[in-house]
Amino acid sequence: MSDRCGAGGCGERLPPGMLEAFDLGSPAADGALVWLEVTGGPEPEISQSSLEVLGKAAELGAGRVFGMMFGGSALRPLYGEAFSRGADTVYHIRDGRLSAFHPEAYCEAARDLAERIRPSVILMGATPRGRELAPRLASALSAGLTADCTGLRMEGGSLVMTRPAFGGDLIADIVCEGRPQMATVRPGVFPAPPPAPGRKGTAICRGYGGSSLKDIAHSAPVPPDGGDISRAKVLVSLGRGAASREALEAAESVAARLGGMVSCSRALVDRGLLPQSRQVGQSGRSVRPDVYLAFGISGSVQHKAGMRLAKRVIAVNKDPDAPIRDDADLFIEGDALSVLRELDKALRSPL
Ligand SMILES: Cc1cc2nc3c(=O)[nH]c(=O)nc-3n(C[C@H](O)[C@H](O)[C@H](O)COP(=O)(O)OP(=O)(O)OC[C@H]3O[C@@H](n4cnc5c(N)ncnc54)[C@H](O)[C@@H]3O)c2cc1C
């Protein structure tokens, strides 16, 4: 634990006995841990779906309700909101680099927390990010996961998770024998609880102790929006295989010379390298350029959903079997950054 603070702010004494009760890694296997997803930029907010899940967790009667949030010190004003909506303890993994969603790092930090707290239940909203984080965390904890639940209740110490099955023809009640019991909750199903002003809790801040953040260029600000990718005739699009400042610089230069724009897969938005408005895909924009140049993009169904109207696709990937190959008019097997730099050099050279 790198530092601890009481609800009113860091530096205050913790309530007597708190460490014994909640922070010894004792085999308590009790309580519900809820991921408090934070939205907004300079003035962060706890997302509506997280408030809904928090309210449901408090109502379940699974023991204490723990909230976990990730980000810089700008999140401190949110502790009170979390307490007023049902959290008894908020764990804040405090690191400015976590202000942008980073599934690997969030998973690492959440696993560390879950192994210390040993909650019986872990819940998060079935938002795009929750859907990405929950399976990673379930796998890291070797736990079962029921996705997109529309009902939750406790029965004899077990969480009964209700969700539609077989295309909605059946409503299934699912019980998980192991611990923790994990579920994502469909947004909008449960009401967010009304705030209970003055309700007290305990906030515990920890530094991020994992290793997954080493490749985040956190000091570089996300560039401003600067246009609408859905109107661009040429898109130079970057994926996780080209998620670096160097690749971004080269892509900007290539796009400028071709009269186009830089777009990306969600991997770059999650890393804070580009704003969400540049994301192509199911939860991003649908684009219809004359040419879509995809560098280091695997071709997930969610990404393809946004680029299927591109007239020509040129894909660069080091994996000859990357699914994007099926959609590519031209596939170049190679390193994304090297090809980007070569292309940039070629476009700069006079004919
Ligand atoms: C509900 C939901 C909504 C989503 N919405 C979107 C969305 O709108 N848009 C979106 O993009 N994603 C979306 N996703 C995420 C999506 O599932 C994928 O995780 C994401 O598209 C993967 O991005 P990627 O292709 O950049 O990364 P990866 O799938 O990790 O692929 C990286 C690729 O780069 C290649 N590579 C690695 N290194 C190099 C190198 N040096 N040179 C060349 N190639 C290299 C690899 O071979 C691989 O093919 C959504 C997910 C969910 C659950």
Q: What is the pLDDT of residues 257-309, one digit of tens each?
A: 999 999 999 999 888 788 888 999 988 889 999 999 999 999 999 999 999 99
Q: DSSP letter string over 50-118?
A: HHHHHHHHHHHTSS-EEEEEEE-GGGTTHHHHHHHTT-SEEEEEE-GGGGS--HHHHHHHHHHHHHHH-
Rounded CA-CA distance 349/351 in Å is 6
Q: What is the CA(300)–ligand 1 centre distance, in A?
A: 6
Closest-lying ligand 1 atom to the alpha carbon of residue 243: 26
Q: What is the CA(298)–ligand 1 centre distance, in A?
A: 5
Closest-lying ligand 1 atom to the alpha carbon of residue 322: 49
- Phi, psi at residue 242, to the nearest 5°? -140, 40
Instruction: List the single range of 208-217, 281-290, 328-337 with lowest mean pLDDT.
Output: 208-217
Residue range 162-169: mean pLDDT, rounded: 80
342 compared with 206, residue with greater pLDDT: 342
Query: What was the pLDDT predicted at 223?
Result: 56
Q: What's the mean per-residue pLDDT of the chain?
A: 86
Residue nearest to atom 1 of ligand 1 (CA): 128
Residue range 80-89: mean pLDDT, rounded: 95
pLDDT over 70 (residue 2): no
Question: 5-207 belongs to which homologous superfamily?
Answer: HUPs (3.40.50.620)
List pocket residues of ligand 1, CB cut-off 6 Å: 128, 131-132, 239-241, 265-267, 279-284, 296-298, 300, 302-303, 306, 316-319, 322, 335-336
How much is the pTM? 0.59
Q: What is the CA(189)–ligand 1 centre distance, in A?
A: 29
Q: What is the CA(303)–ligand 1 centre distance, in A?
A: 7
Query: What was the pLDDT predicted at 4?
Result: 43
pLDDT tens digit sequence for 307-325: 999 999 999 999 999 999 9
pLDDT tens digit sequence for 9-68: 444 444 444 443 444 344 445 899 999 999 876 689 999 999 999 999 999 988 899 999
Q: What is the CA(201)–ligand 1 centre distance, in A?
A: 39
Fill in the amino acid letter for 48: Q
CATH match for 229-348 among 2.70.98.10, 2.50.20.10, 3.40.50.1220, 3.40.50.10540: 3.40.50.1220
Domain boundaries, the chain: 5-207, 229-348
Residue nearest to atom 2 of ligand 1 (CA): 128
Query: What was the pLDDT predicted at 320?
Result: 97
Query: What was the pLDDT predicted at 18?
Result: 42
Residue nearest to atom 47 of ligand 1 (CA): 319
Helices first, then strands: H and E counts in the chain: 9, 19
Closest-lying ligand 1 atom to the alpha carbon of residue 319: 47
pLDDT tens digit sequence for 103-120: 889 999 999 999 988 999
Query: What was the pLDDT predicted at 351?
Result: 60
Residue nearest to atom 41 of ligand 1 (CA): 335
pLDDT over 80 (residue 219): no
Question: Rounded to the nearest 10 degrees, how much is the dihedral formed by the CA atoms of 206, 211, 213, 214?
Answer: 130
